[in-house]
Chain A
Amino acid sequence: MVKLLLGLILLGNGANILIFLMGDIAKGHPPIISKDASIFTQMYADPVPQALILTAIVISFGLQSFAIILLKRVYQMTKSDNLDTLKPHEVDI
């Protein structure tokens, strides 16, 4: 189960970094239009990916903390951290 968790966390972070790379990276060019111009005249850093990553990090943090608690509960109940031993139950609740 720990491996499952590590995998999910790595995947989430990988996706975040991908967003970061997909926005054009331009060092030292803040997205501010200079006083004497009305439009951008040169390359600028795209501010949108920051907002996207921030949202995505918060969301994946929430999901991952839920998953950690869930896996811990399952471990306490089944006394095993092997996913293969979990059997589908034909029971009713």
Chain B
Amino acid sequence: MTDNLLILPIFAHLLIAVLLIFAWGRVNIQRVISILGHFLVLLVSIQLFRKTWFAGILTMQAGAWKAPFGITFVSDTLSATFVLLTAIAGLGVGIFSMVGISRSRMQFGYFPISHFLLMGLNGAFLAGDIFNLYVWFEIVIISSFVLMTLGGKKPQMEGAIKYVALNMLASTVFLTAIAILYGLTGTLNMADLSQKVAQIEKKELVSVTSLLFFIGFGIKSAVFPLYFWLPSSYHTPPSVIAATFGGLLTKMGVYAMLRTFTLIFIPDPFTQNVLIACAIMTMFTGAMGALNKTSIRRMFSYLIICHIGYLIGGLGLHTQVALSAVVFYLIHDIIIKTNIFLATGIIHKIRGSTDIRRLGGFYEEYPKLSLLMAIIFFSLIGVPPLSGFWPKIGLFQASLDANAYVLLGAFIMASFFTLYIIAKMWSEVFWKDLPKRPEETNEFTELPFYKQTLLVVPVLGLALVSLYIGLGAENILAVSNRIALNMIDTGYYVNAVLNK
């Protein structure tokens, strides 16, 4: 079904970002525009999700050029779900950043750039053309470069070098893969590619190209052995920015991988084994990395990597149960990863540090806030019936069905280590007595009440979303099952785009 309004989530962010540039430097006006903008995008995204859910799939052909020739935007259930999740996480981050980011960073364009970033994300999720996907990726990474270096502190800049270099490398590999794919098929439209790639006789060339895509997206989504930029850069920017990055940017890489490896390249047994081996190593190294870190931000950075392993492993199994679990895990993960970094931001405001050697006594001083964070961490671990539990059951079941016992063992090990890391973090930060420290700065209690509320509300809101994902799992499962069905049966997407 053709629906030209499906680019509204992209367009709304563009409009807001342009408006924000006109109010350059006037922080209070920018705050109001930005927060209204986030609400507007949330409404538009809910509307898009509702329409997509009822219509099945929506398409838009830019300039009315027929499908394989023009640029196509497609909103299937997967895209619409991601746009909705981006809007929810974006709203949470937007509210938190009213207070959680320094005034000087706001004056140097935090708000417009963050809207450009979200615009790029929405564009990447709605793109139906692989080169268009590349362009949206570039919009996202250039915005993320600016956000990463905004403020210009020394450790930030040093972290940014690795981030910039590795991401530019990833883009180049992605572009190379597109070039070879175009040479092989002569088309860029993803639906058309799906058909033409299946007809290519030289399967080896297709395998090599698909692995080039895997390397490009793997760097972006921090898969073993390409993840080293993430832990050395994600802890340097302010918590709000780290929340956007941790929640959304790596997941964009996973989204692109899901799209290419279900629609364009159907993994052969070799590619499946590569994916599963990378997934196992990603889980293992992520968990091991998190064990010996003393800064909770760095611990969480490694946990991001560890949990990317779940997603890649599920993709490697490539059965309907596994894909459904992967999508469910992504839905859970975007919300929870954004939220743990926001929670870290509150801890940092209160204690002036994120190093566990200098933290403690949190539960004694802030029992209600601690309980709220307990919900978040329990969801992250996957204590039944909270949100992390259901997708893991699906992944376990899928790996049992496929007789992939090593992968099953890795899933269980990664869950166990996540539990151990969070338990250690909890006892250090919340239960241990507060160690003697030279300086006693508590920015949080110095803030007026409404500003404290602005910091707690997004964490509470995202925790409620997590609770809903856990307790209303049958609804989420309905969404993820339908997405998985469309991933296995690519004909639905192809026919809708090419109007057959």
Contacts and interface: CB of A to CB of B under 8 A. Distances in A.
A23 B146 CA distance: 34
A18 B158 contact: no
Interface stretch (A26-34, A37-45, A64-72): A64-72
Interface string B333-352: 00000000000000010001
Interface string A65-88: 011001101100110000100111
Contacts of B172: 8, 11-12, 14-15, 60
Given A11-B169, A73-B152, A92-B352, 14 more contacts: A11-B168, A15-B176, A15-B179, A18-B176, A19-B179, A23-B182, A48-B182, A60-B171, A66-B146, A70-B145, A70-B160, A74-B157, A90-B295, A93-B237
A8 B169 contact: yes
Contacts of A19: 175, 178-179, 182
Contact of A66 (B164, B186, B353): B164
Contact of A92 (B175, B183, B295): B295
A16 to B, nearest CB: 8
A59 interface: yes
A90 B296 CA distance: 10
Interface of B: 131, 135, 138, 141-142, 145-146, 149, 151-161, 164-165, 168-169, 171-172, 175-176, 178-180, 182-183, 186, 188, 231-232, 236-238, 294-295, 297-298, 348, 352-355
A74 B161 contact: yes
Most buried by A among B160, B172, B182, B188: B172
Given A4-B165, A70-B164, A55 B131 contact: yes
A28 B294 CA distance: 65
- Give the secondary structure class of B's interface: helix
A77 B149 CA distance: 13
A26 to B, nearest CB: 13
18 contacts: A8-B165, A8-B168, A8-B172, A15-B176, A23-B183, A56-B175, A59-B138, A63-B168, A64-B168, A66-B142, A66-B145, A70-B157, A70-B160, A70-B164, A73-B149, A88-B158, A89-B154, A92-B348
Contact of B164 (A49, A67, A77, A88): A67
A90 B301 CA distance: 13
Most buried by A among B176, B294, B355: B176
Contacts of B157: 70, 73-74, 77
B135 A55 contact: yes
A2 interface: no
Contacts of B131: 52, 55
Contacts of B152: 73
Most buried by B among A8, A63, A71, A74: A63
Contact of A89 (B135, B149, B236): B236
Given A8-B168, A11-B172, A22-B182, A86 B158 contact: yes
A93 B160 CA distance: 14
B136 to A, nearest CB: 11
Contacts of A64: 168
B155 A70 contact: no
Contacts of A16: 175
A25 to B, nearest CB: 11
> Which 5 interchain pairs have the tightest Cβ spacing?
A22-B183, A89-B155, A19-B179, A15-B175, A18-B179
